[in-house]
Amino acid sequence: MSELHTVNKSPFEKSSFASCMEHVLEGSAVLLYEDGVYAAIKGTAAEGKVKSAQGVKFYALGSDLKARGLSDERVTNGVEIVDYEGFVDLAAEHDKVVAWV
């Protein structure tokens, strides 16, 4: 079974991102949205966690990045930027959604 994990809180505010990373299995995906997009930014403590997650695909919601003034160049390499349509597709393509609030 492949899961879509969602994280919507900043990794600097809450442990939701850290907790998600501790439970995500290979073949699953993580979508960062709302304040969770801060975990997709280069040069942060989160960058290492994102890069070292084996077999996990990362996505960040473009509209939340833009809202927060975070340009695409700031996004960690390998994190794919998606829109809400992409979010919907991810939810449909994976077998279920696990929300780390």
Partner 1 sequence: MKFAIQVNEGPYQHQASDSAYLFTRAALEKGHEIFRVFFYHDGVGNGTRLTTPPQDDRHVVNRWADLAEKHELDLVVCVAAAQRRGMVDDGEAERNGKDATNLHPKFRISGLGQLIEAAVQSDRLVVFGD
Partner 2 sequence: MAEQIKNFLYLNRRAPYGTIYAWESLEVVLIGAAFDQKVSLAFLDDGVFQIVKGQDTAGVEMKNFSPTYSALGDYDVNQLYVEQESLEERGLTIDDLMHLTWEDEDEDWAEKDSIRVVSRAELAKIIEQQDIVFSF
Task: Report yes or no: 98 and 5 within 8 Å, Cβ to Cβ.
Answer: yes
25 binds partner 1 (CB under 8 A): no
Site for partner 2 in 4-43 (CB under 8 A): 15-16, 19, 22-25, 28
d(CA 42, CA 86): 22
Please report whether residue 34 would count as binding partner 1 according to CB under 8 A. yes
Per CB under 8 A, does 33 bind partner 1?
yes
- Judged by beta carbon distances under 5 to 8 A according to partner kind, the member of partner 2, partner 1, none in contact with residue 22 is partner 2
Specify the 3-state DSSP secondary structure of 6.
Answer: strand
The Cα–Cα gap between 73 and 2 comes to 29
> Residue 3 binds what, of partner 1, partner 2, none (CB under 5 to 8 Å, by partner type)?
partner 2
How far apart, in whole angstroms, are the C-alpha atoms of residue 24 and residue 3? 8
Distance linking the first and last C-alpha atoms of the chain: 22
**Subset of residues 71 to 100 that bind partner 2, contact rule: CB under 8 A:** 95-100
Q: Which residues contact partner 1 (rule: CB under 8 A)?
A: 6, 8-9, 33-35, 63, 83-85, 87-89, 91-92, 96-97, 99, 101
